[in-house]
Amino acid sequence: MTRLIYDGTFEGLLTAVFEVYDRKLIQVNLQKNGNANSAMFEDVLQIITDDIRANRVLKGLNQKLSANGVQRIYIAHLSEMENEENNILGYIRYAFDSKQNIEDNYGNKYVLRISEIVRMMRREKHRMEAFIRFQKLKDETYYAGIEPDFNVLPLLIKHFKSRYADQKWMIYDIKRNYGLYYDLHDVEFVSMEFSSVNSPGKVVAAFGEDEETYQHLWKNYFKSVDIASRKNTKLHVRHIPKRYWKHLTEKI
Amino acid sequence: MALNAFKTSNILIPQSSTYYQNKLLIILVFLIDMNVDRITEKLNILADAAKYDVSCASSGSKRKNENKGLGNASNGICHSYTEDGRCVSLLKILLTNHCIFDCAYCVSRKSNDIKRAAFTVQEVVDLTINFYRRNYIEGLFLSSGIFKDADYTMERLVMIAKKLRTENNFNGYIHLKSIPGASDELMREAGLYADRLSVNLEMPTEAGLKLLAPDKNRQDMIDPMTFLNKEIIQRTEEKKLFKKAPMFAPAGQSTQVIIGATPENDQQILNTANHFYKNFNLKRVYYSGYVPVLADKRLPGLNTAVPMVRENRLYQADWLMRFYGFKVNEIVNNQQPLLDLDIDPKLGWAIRNMQAFPIDINKADLQLILRVPGIGVQSAQKIVSARKFARLNWDQLKKIGVAINRAKYFITCKSNDFERRDLTGTKIKQFILAESQSKYLKNVQNQLSIF
């Protein structure tokens, strides 16, 4: 058994795949830096991320899988779920070792596990597309703070850029302390001083003049559309789990 | 008068004097405050009156955001959920709840003593744009009580859609109600700006409508549907030839029927739905369990429970017709005019047709796999993809997402373990019910065959 330790980046993961084939390793255990538990009688190999090697692996994957199949690997990697690296690695090795495209073989445990992770990621991405609540600030920027279960910000760019093309906006992941900022032309990743994001009071002080009016109207609307005789709290909470409430204007 | 809200934008501030500017500003702020209160009240009244329209779909369109405008419409997103668990996707309001009709089932009926209100065109536009920019909604669902006459009302609905599209470059979703009796010309214009149009049939049969809405005429509802259907077909043909041809109601038409206010059985309701799916290319038929809002001897009493289970079973049957390849008379027929309330209609069909089972999951056609209780569309497709590589066993089926506790009575797979007993449908139903913890189980009574 060889333990491979990589830096947690996608390129690092692909470099690890390169090493597996280069060194003809059979039994491996892939782990992120810092998560590594040491065991006796193990070879340890520190992976040094190498863009050229990573690109060769990516090129190979593009020959074995459809664009969608490669995309799944990237999404699964973004999930940052602990100890799933070996399933991602298993999926990649299965893809390389098979003659045909294997991405629809749901009978295979790696394909199935990756499709489960991708489903969780897509659900979280979809939830963010639904639950993000922009607040208009004085400088006409629409700001939203979020705390998604997984790292889905990179997956949100396309949707929000094409939808809100004529307004400046920022979506900030408070948990992971980075965000997206759209300046009417491009989307870029930004990072702020932690204290300035974390206090809702500062955001409220920066509200544009009609912001509170529309929040008030939205809360009222939300109350008015409820039909009390059909109340179904269980269903309600299943659709909007409580952990999302603190960023939802209508639930605050 | 309620129809005219304050138009603050009409007040001009003289540029020369700061003193007057300040004074005017104070008055302005006061006016805006009053305006907010008034709009809040209107929103409460007109959202409350619109909520019994159950449609909140915002999918099926393919409107893109062009020229850096605002918004797009494609797959539909539920931005929130009410406490009764329904999706909130659109700003769903009435333009006004003033109405010249007196339909027994409707809160806004003429003879009902309630507060009336009306939005101005600009107010609806502002609310839509500002809610949309904050990512609260996918777009607007605008309906209205009939004031003056059909054309007058329809004209105002169209005016709002036009303003959103042309003046505000808004590409979000717009669903307009087609007002029964409105002219073809207006309906054509509506189709150019809206993504979806709908006419509510209200009652599943003409007799039901006559009983509860004596002023309304079913033919008036069918006319705009027929017109739009023809127009949509024609425009789709044109669009195939000329890419630049304008979109026309890209998300099609839908309708709604109220369930449980009149004595129609499920067979009649589903046959009506089927008729409209087939002949009018409807995208959706909505079934709205009647919520008792008014005391009227023609209607179920005010303490009657909302028929939520029946509504749910009707939706399940509707899905079977649209996505699972079932014919309407396989679900309900003269021997079986009512849907079971304790089990879903797919399981119901399966236990009445035990001769079709068991099927071999590794060989059967997709169409047959779709008929197995416990297997949904996605699982069925995954099974068909995966079995090309190797035959599947129970464990794999379970992981793919099949509900084994239901499906196991109807299928075989790569395993020696399968249901060998020759069980009757009734027995299987008992086993499945004993194992499952249906959310409905505790208050199920089956429907009486006599109303």
Q: Which residues pair with B63 in a beta bridge?
A: B73
Q: How confident is the model at residue A202 (pLDDT cuts 50, 70, 90)?
A: low
Closest chain A residue to the Cα of B288, Cα to Cα: A230
The Cα A86–Cα A3 span in angstroms is 11
H helices of A65-210, in order, are: 67-78, 85-97, 109-131, 153-163, 194-198, 200-205
Per cent of chain A over pLDDT 90 is 81
φ and ψ at residue A190, rounded to 5 degrees:
-130, 160
Whether residues B400 and A112 touch (CB distance < 8 A) is answered with yes
Residues of chain B found within 8 Å of residue A159, distances taken between Cβ atoms: none
In chain A, domain spans: 2-123, 132-251
Burial B193-210 (b: 16+ CB within 10 A, else e): bbbbbbbbbbbbbeebbe
DSSP characters over B172-185: SEEEEEPPTT--HH
The Cα B413–Cα B359 span in angstroms is 9
pTM of the model: 0.87
φ and ψ at residue A146, rounded to 5 degrees:
-135, 160
Whether residues A163 and B72 touch (CB distance < 8 A) is answered with yes
B178-193: per-residue pLDDT in tens? 999 999 999 999 999 9
> Dihedral sign, CA of B49, B55, B56, B60?
negative
Of B43, B51, B390, the CB nearest to A220: B43
Q: Distance, in angstroms, between B21 CA and closest chain A CA?
A: 18
Question: Quick one: average pLDDT of A18-46?
Answer: 84
Mutation target among A68, A106, A137, A215 for the B interface, most CBs of B within 10 A: A106
Of B40, B47, B81, the CB nearest to A236: B81
User: Are A159 and B76 within 8 A, CB to CB?
Assistant: no
Question: Quick one: average pLDDT of B421-443?
Answer: 77
Q: Distance, in angstroms, between A220 CA and closest chain B CA?
A: 7
Helices B218-241 and B266-280 meet at what angle, rounded to 10?
A: 40
Of A106, A133, A225, the CB nearest to B134: A133
Of A102, A224, A250, the CB nearest to B48: A224
Give, in order, the Cα–Cα distances in Å from A112 to each of A11, B376, B399: 23, 17, 8
User: Are A163 and B173 within 8 A, CB to CB?
Assistant: no
User: Nearest-CA neighbor of A214 among B34, B131, B118?
Assistant: B131
B246-305: per-residue pLDDT in tens? 889 999 999 999 999 888 999 999 999 999 999 999 999 999 988 887 888 888 888 888
Whether residues B84 and A164 touch (CB distance < 8 A) is answered with no
Residues of chain B found within 8 Å of residue A208, distances taken between Cβ atoms: none
B13-23: per-residue pLDDT in tens? 444 455 555 55
Q: What is the DSSP pairing of strand A141-146 with strand A135-136?
A: antiparallel
For chain B, list the domains and their CATH numbers.
Answer: 49-291+306-324 (3.20.20.70), 345-443 (no CATH)
Question: Quick one: average pLDDT of B218-223?
Answer: 91
ipTM: 0.91
User: Nearest-CA neighbor of B63 among B248, B280, B190, B236?
Assistant: B248
